[in-house]
């Protein structure tokens, strides 16, 4: 009985710890993490342990040192395996620190990783720390050194992870936004309100909802300024993307880059739903696709 109580207590303590998923050989990032995690309860796991256990509803920090030579093969492997594996990170809150010298390549790799984690059921917090410049030019200026500003940003990211609440409210307030006009926008609004109401939520046009549902239609390959202007508030985002034009994944990545990587929106678990080859009107006319919408909004 005593052993059972001790094991139960240990399990509770473990669940409260941050999980640092360590990828690559840390040099500068090791010093950053030491400062950022000071005073926090955490455990560090490598890739093999990460994929051999379940981390449901934990708080995950991907700590990645990007190689200069090969585009970080370890990071690509991590992303690929997340696509392959199921719901072992269901309900997790996730952030990432990517440190290296790859410029835009590291940025794109980090975005791909976070989207893969989201597809596996994780809640992605906004503004990951991606420092792909050995000179730390982004952190220059001010009284502190660039390194001090860098590590302070890492600490703030960890604090946001600790404070994150990944459990959705029982009765969410949902806001619907779209750049579409006319009958399509009106019909989508009615369908989504019916789905949200059936799941116990409310459909409200307010500044600070629990979740924002953004409906887009990809006709030009990338989102226009009018669509991006809809993403002007912090909160939790869910993207519904009708894509009659090829390139839905690229369009979706551009939205997430703007809203969650550079902006202040979190991404709801499995928060990107793409309807390849279909317009917004055609999605509404498809019983099969509407079932996908219901499954996304009524988890």
Domain residue ranges of the chain, discontinuous segments joined by +: 8-163, 173-297
Least confident of 10-24, 201-215, 228-242: 10-24
pLDDT at 5 over 60: no
Q: How confident is the model at residue 87 (pLDDT cuts 50, 70, 90)?
A: confident
The answer to whether 101 and 176 are in contact (CB under 8 A) is no
Residue 246, pLDDT score: 93
pLDDT at 199 over 80: yes
Mean pLDDT of 209-223: 94
Reading phi first (left if > 0) and then psi (alpha if -120 to 50, else beta), residue 8 is in: alpha
> How far is Cα 189 from Cα 175, in angstroms, rounded to an integer?
10
CATH number for the region 173-297 comes to 3.40.50.360
- Fold match between 8-163 and 173-297? yes
Residue 116, pLDDT score: 95
Least confident of 105-119, 212-226, 275-289: 105-119
pLDDT at 79 over 90: yes
Residue 232, pLDDT score: 75
> How far is Cα 215 from Cα 180, in angstroms, rounded to an integer?
8
Mean pLDDT of 140-145: 73
| % of the chain with per-residue pLDDT over 70 | 88
> How far is Cα 265 from Cα 238, in angstroms, rounded to an integer?
10
Query: Whole-number mean pLDDT of the chain?
Result: 88
Residue 11, pLDDT score: 52
Q: Which of 86, 109, 105, 85 is nearest to 96 (CA)?
A: 109
The CATH fold of domain 8-163: Rossmann fold (3.40.50)
The count of other CB atoms within 10 Å of the CB of residue 194 is 12
């Amino acid at each position: 009985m005593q052993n059972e109580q001790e094991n139960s207590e240990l399990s509770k303590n473990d669940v409260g710890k941050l999980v640092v998923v360590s990828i690559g050989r840390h040099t500068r990032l090791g010093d950053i993490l030491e400062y950022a995690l000071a005073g926090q309860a955490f455990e560090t796991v490598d890739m093999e342990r990460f994929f051999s256990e379940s981390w449901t509803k934990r708080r995950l920090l991907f700590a990645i040192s990007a190689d200069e030579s090969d585009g970080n093969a370890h990071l690509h492997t991590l992303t690929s395996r997340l696509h392959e594996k199921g719901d072992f990170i269901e309900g997790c809150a996730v952030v990432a620190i990517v440190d290296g010298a790859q410029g835009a390549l590291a940025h794109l790799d980090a975005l791909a990783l976070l989207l893969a984690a989201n597809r596996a059921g994780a809640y992605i917090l906004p503004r990951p720390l991606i420092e792909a410049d050995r000179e730390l030019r982004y952190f220059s200026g001010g009284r502190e050194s660039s390194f001090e500003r860098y590590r302070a940003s890492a600490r703030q990211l960890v604090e946001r992870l600790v404070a994150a609440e990944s459990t959705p409210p029982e009765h969410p307030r949902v806001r619907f936004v779209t750049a579409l006009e006319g009958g399509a926008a009106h019909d989508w609004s009615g369908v989504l309100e019916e789905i949200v109401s059936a799941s116990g939520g409310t459909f409200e046009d307010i500044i600070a909802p629990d979740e924002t549902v953004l409906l887009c239609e990809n006709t030009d390959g990338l989102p226009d300024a009018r669509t991006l202007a809809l993403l002007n508030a912090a909160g939790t985002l869910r993207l519904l993307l009708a894509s009659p034009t090829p390139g839905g994944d690229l369009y979706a990545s551009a939205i997430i880059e703007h809203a969650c990587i550079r902006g202040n929106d979190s991404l709801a678990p499995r928060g990107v739903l793409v309807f390849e080859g279909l317009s917004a009107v055609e999605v509404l006319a498809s019983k099969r696709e509407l079932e996908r919408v219901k499954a996304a909004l009524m988890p």
